[in-house]
Amino acid sequence: LSCFVLPSQYGHLLQTKTIWNAEETPESHSLMEQILHLEKLEVDIFRGFTLPEAPTFNQVFGGQLIAQALAAASKTVDCLKLVHSLHAIFLIAGDNNMPIIYQVHRERDGTSFATRKVEAKQKGLVMFTLIVSFQKEELGFEHQAAIMPDVPPPEQLLNMEEIRERRLTDPRFPMQYRNSAAKKKFVPWP
């Protein structure tokens, strides 16, 4: 799974010219595939580029950083583990004309989960950090098995004046509470 966000006017970049072609040359890849292609420099270190024909935003586009960092992290985990969650932190703007070095830190490798921290660097400075969790698909607990009760829509609920009046007159509330509620100033919501 890779996330790459582009404005709609650049949607044509996502169309692969030869998606079913057996050729595996960079020329046969779509622009999107070329952007996601990372050069492996060492174990857990990759280099990515902003392609000259890609749309420019005067700095490295945030969606590109997320997509390339996620691609780098994905290359370091078991292929059966899928992205479970991610958190992206943009620190400084990147330069479109310079390569981006992605350093993957293997924070945790468990049976079901793996966690990676990816730092994107230019000129030796960390410009972006991605923390991503991967999980092996497996049966688990049904955390939201409870069915929500039927409740009235907001327009059928009591307004603040009606709620205050009930507090003052409802015999289920102790008299001391009703007296203190009567002394409190009602501040209407904007």
User: Are 128 and 165 found together in one domain?
Assistant: no
CATH number, position 65: 3.10.129.10
In a domain, 95, yes or no: yes
pTM of the predicted model as reported, rounded to 2 decimal places: 0.63
Contact 38, 29 (CB under 8 A): no
User: Are 110 and 159 found together in one domain?
Assistant: no
What's the 3-state SS for 84-101? EEEEEEECCCCCCCCCEE
pLDDT at 37: 87
Lowest-pLDDT range of 55-69, 70-84, 85-99: 55-69
Q: Which amino acid is at 152?
A: P
User: Are 37 and 82 found together in one domain?
Assistant: yes
pLDDT at 85: 95
- More reliable by pLDDT, 15 or 179: 179
Q: How do beta strands 125-136 and 113-122 pair? A: antiparallel
Number of compact structural domains in the chain? 2
User: Which token pair is 46?
Assistant: 């990759």
Task: Find the domain containing 126 and state its range.
Answer: 8-136
Contact 37, 26 (CB under 8 A): yes
